[in-house]
Copies of this chain bind each other. A is one copy, B any other.
Amino acid sequence: MKKKPVTGMRDILPEEMEIRNYAMNLIRETYGSFGFLPLETPCVEHIENLSSNQGGENEKLIFKILKRGEKLKIDQAQGEMDLVDGGLRYDLTLPLSRYYANNASKLPAPFKALQMGNVWRADRPQRGRFRQFMQCDIDTLGDPSCLAEIELIAATTTLLGRLGFKGFTIRINDRKILKAMARYSGFPEESFDTVFIILDKMDKLGAQGVAQELRNEGFPAEAADKYMELFSQVDSSVEGVRRCGEILGDAADAESIDNLIRIMESVEAVRTADFSVKFDPALVRGMSYYTGPIFEVSIDGFGGSVGGGGRYDEMIGKFTGQDTCACGFSIGFERIVMLLMEQKFQVPAARKKIACLIEKNMPSERMQEILKQAQALREAGNQVNTAVMKKNKKFQKEQLKEEGYEEILEFYREGL
């Protein structure tokens, strides 16, 4: 039999589990204090839903589930889709849309949702990325106002602060401003996706590099230059957003500009953690379903983001046939746990750890006395482990100390 977990997945040791459980409780508590309500969907989804083009690249990475019983007809199968009827979910957003379509009448409006659950992607195995990982999403469904964005960001920054993170950055942009800037610079509407894929490399290539790649792609040099000139004129402050709106003039939608300023100012005003909010006109975010404000969190000294999200007003309607505005924020739970592990984070001990070592062949009545004593110590708020005393008691005690047992009681057959 195989001892290793399946390729790309992993066993989690108790030490990490303590940190995960601590983080999960803090997430539930913090988001709960903002009124987000927990929900759960099955890990298995209809293969039709998973393959409906809402999932972008993730749809190529689905773990598919074989049909069962008479429905499985191997000899008649032309391709994969004839063999399967379900798949493991690759994110929590698509299942949330289905859940909302199925249960909206039983849910508050707007609905503030909290999901924590595993998702699966058959990605090429690589260091630090796994094929099963926990996602943690909050979403507000049915609130068209920017109060949704403000609360999503306020809740998440409060959470990160409570997890001990400092000096992190919320970068923010709006899909409508992103498009207005490309339009203003003279790129044709149908090429926006290509332009944004290149723009997304701003961090790596810098403005000159991006301009070069835009020209290489065949876009006019004037458009590339005007585009980069625009980026150079706006800074990352609220003032930068305002300036951006002035330059764009009619090319931009004034409401998006006001909205973004309002979000930035409000998030600053209610801050409880040590972070900064920055306008990043080059922020793209991959998924094509975003329709309004988009945002991302990054932590200094850690490459890549630890969370992100945005408004996606059109996705749920595609599912339900009824327009429902929506806005979500997903935090990278696995990255956060990894960072905490790297920092040698110690979960605050709720209880004193006591071990009771009991000599072998303890007479029954005496044993009962010892167990009663252990139980009384538990009721007094301690964590109490009982164990049979080993021959090498010294080694056993050392081990227990390493496991964090602060007090070790020894019980012998005769007397204490």
Interface residue ranges, A against B (CB under 8 Å): 1-6, 9-14, 17-18, 20-21, 25, 28, 32-35, 37-46, 48-49, 52, 63-66, 68, 72, 74, 77, 79-80, 83-86, 88, 98-99, 101-103, 106-108, 110, 112, 118, 120, 122, 132, 143, 145, 147, 150-151, 154, 158, 261-262, 265-266, 269-270, 272, 318-320, 351, 355, 358, 360, 364, 367-368, 371-372, 374-375, 378-379, 382-388, 399, 403
Decide: A35 and B1 in contact? CB cutoff 8 A: no
A84 partner residues in chain B, CB cutoff 8 A: 66
CB of A136, distance to nearest CB on chain B (Å): 14
Decide: B269 and A388 in contact? CB cutoff 8 A: no
* Given A37-B17, A372-B270, A72 contacting B80 (CB threshold 8 A): yes
A147 partner residues in chain B, CB cutoff 8 A: 358, 386-388
Decide: A63 and B44 in contact? CB cutoff 8 A: yes
Cβ-neighbour of A39 out of B17, B39, B118 (below 8 A) = B17
Closest to A101 in B: B3
Decide: A83 and B83 in contact? CB cutoff 8 A: yes
Decide: B269 and A384 in contact? CB cutoff 8 A: no
A-B contacts, 30 of them at CB < 8 A, read: A1-B46, A2-B49, A3-B98, A3-B102, A6-B46, A9-B42, A9-B44, A11-B40, A14-B39, A18-B38, A33-B382, A33-B384, A34-B384, A35-B386, A42-B132, A44-B63, A44-B132, A63-B68, A64-B65, A112-B385, A143-B388, A147-B386, A150-B371, A154-B375, A158-B375, A262-B367, A265-B364, A266-B364, A266-B368, A272-B375
Decide: A48 and B2 in contact? CB cutoff 8 A: yes
Decide: A11 and B45 in contact? CB cutoff 8 A: no
* Given A66-B84, A378-B34, A42 contacting B5 (CB threshold 8 A): yes
Closest to A68 in B: B122
A368 partner residues in chain B, CB cutoff 8 A: 265-266, 269-270
CA distance A292 to B398 in the complex (A): 32
A106 partner residues in chain B, CB cutoff 8 A: 13
CB of A42, distance to nearest CB on chain B (Å): 4
Shortest 7 CB-CB contacts between residues of A and residues of B? A35-B385, A9-B42, A14-B37, A17-B38, A269-B368, A12-B40, A64-B66
CB of A69, distance to nearest CB on chain B (Å): 8
Closest to A84 in B: B66
Cβ-neighbour of A110 out of B158, B360, B387 (below 8 A) = B387
* Given A266-B367, A270-B371, A364-B262, A44 contacting B83 (CB threshold 8 A): no
* Given A6-B42, A43-B43, A147-B386, A49 contacting B99 (CB threshold 8 A): no
